[in-house]
A and B are shown apart, each in its own frame.
Chain A
Amino acid sequence: MTGFITLFTLLSMSVVALFSLRQSNLTQSVVLFSGVGLGSVVLFFIFNAPDVALTEAVIGSGITAVVLLIGIRHMHKEPEIEEVMMENRRGIRRIAIALLVLLTLLLLGKTLLGALSVETSNAGQALLEHAMQAGAANAVTSVVTYFRGFDTLGEVAVLFLAATGVGLLLTVEKGEDAIYIEPNFILRIGSGFLFPLILLFGLYIIVHGHLSPGGGFQGGVVIAAAFLLLFLTRRRFGLSHKIVTILESGAGMAYVLLGLTGLWLMGLFLGNFLPHPAEKIGMLVSGGIIPIIYILIGIKVGSEISYVVEKLIKRSHDV
């Protein structure tokens, strides 16, 4: 059954991707591209990676599509770029189609082989057995924030660099917003109802990161999506720079300080110095420092991605 769903998803993903490449209208191609993202959400879920599926659902088929659409709108303002694109596109398209066909064949071959063999090995199950040691019910979380906590610190730093780069490139001078679509009245009112619900969902995912799929990265991205909704529907809405800076750098510093405290108390960077008894696994307050780390990551990711989205949307005309 799983093999069939996988095959079907892979096939429809390839078909949608081909259609997306062959579109002459860039907007339609972006919409189809987010359809490919939706397919990969299903694939991630089938292969026991609900955490990645959550991220892909928000980033791959949500925020990326919006960012690409904003990019297209910017492009249409400068017709020269469009012409160059049209010249190059035919060649790029051929290469892309060739790559896509190759990738599809590889994936199909691998899936068919996987469907034939009795049971594919499952790294998640093996890790689950070690989850007791870390004190988190979600094995992925115990890897991300405990066994590989140092790597996660690096990843968060990379994200910070990316946000800084976007901020440097797209500095807003006080002017009119380049991207603004007169919102539907119903949408404007409805977004007011929706915003707290999405925020609540993001916070839930962050706080339950050590118990259920999801965590700091996923929840932070969901929170950024909530702010994206406000940027799209309200002309005057803007983030307070001071608050974003304080949240972002404060969370980063707290992460490093937690790691150093672990080094001091346990002799191990990011050592779990808070009590994390094995019998408490599965409860909200458990896992020692793991939930604290994930909440910090959530704050950091949420503020960074919201900042990037704001920078991309509120670019002024003449920069």
Chain B
Amino acid sequence: MGVLDIFGYILAFMGSGSLIISGLGIVRMPDIYTRIHAGTKASTLGILMIIASAACFEPAWSFKLLLLGAFILITNPLSSSALALASYKQGVKHLETSGVDELADKIKIKADSKEKR
């Protein structure tokens, strides 16, 4: 077993741990925004780690895996942000304890300027 293999095992272990935390977060978090948060950040990190570990096991695939990683790095946050914004515009409430709602003023201003047009 080479050094790369050991490194790959460590990365795969950490990545699956991160994915487990992400899954746990989706179940345990109280409202939709925190759930999206857990489902995006932790799972993106986990998948990237697993892709990196795959690159350690099979160095010949690294270019394709790099592209795959870039793809996931873009799509995962994008889809989550679209989901979160869509649910915000649909009027899904966030938790009272979440603190300040910085988007409230901006969305309102946008709606006003639309009415004027």
Closest chain A residue to B80, Cβ basis? A186
* B4 contacts partner chain A, Cβ-Cβ < 8 Å: no
> What is the interface residue range for chain A against chain B?
10 to 19
Residues of A within 8 A of B29 (CB): none
Residues of A within 8 A of B77 (CB): 186, 190
Closest chain B residue to A233, Cβ basis? B82
How many Å lie between the Cα of A186 and that of B76 in the bound state? Answer: 12
How many Å lie between the Cα of A194 and that of B73 in the bound state? Answer: 10
- CB of B75 within 8 A of CB of A186, answer no
Closest chain A residue to B71, Cβ basis? A197
Residues of B within 8 A of A191 (CB): 78
Cross-chain contact of B82 among A187, A193, A200, A201 (Cβ < 8 A)? A187
A299 to chain B, nearest CB (A): 23
* A88 contacts partner chain B, Cβ-Cβ < 8 Å: no
Residues of B within 8 A of A193 (CB): 74
- CB of A194 within 8 A of CB of B67, answer no
- CB of A197 within 8 A of CB of B82, answer no
How many Å lie between the Cα of A193 and that of B74 in the bound state? Answer: 8
Cross-chain contact of A184 among B70, B75, B81 (Cβ < 8 A)? B81
Residues of B within 8 A of A190 (CB): 74, 77-78
* B85 contacts partner chain A, Cβ-Cβ < 8 Å: yes
- CB of A186 within 8 A of CB of B67, answer no
How many Å lie between the Cα of A191 and that of B85 in the bound state? Answer: 16
How many Å lie between the Cα of A187 and that of B85 in the bound state? Answer: 10
Closest chain B residue to A200, Cβ basis? B67
Residues of A within 8 A of B78 (CB): 186-187, 190-191, 194
List residues 79-96 of chain B with CB under 8 A from any CB of chain A.
81-82, 85
Binding site for A on B (CB under 8 A): 67, 70-71, 74-75, 77-78, 81-82, 85
Extra 16 A-B pairs, beta carbons < 8 Å, given A194-B75, A197-B67, A197-B71? A184-B81, A184-B82, A186-B77, A186-B81, A187-B78, A187-B81, A190-B74, A190-B77, A190-B78, A191-B78, A193-B74, A194-B74, A194-B78, A197-B74, A200-B67, A201-B71
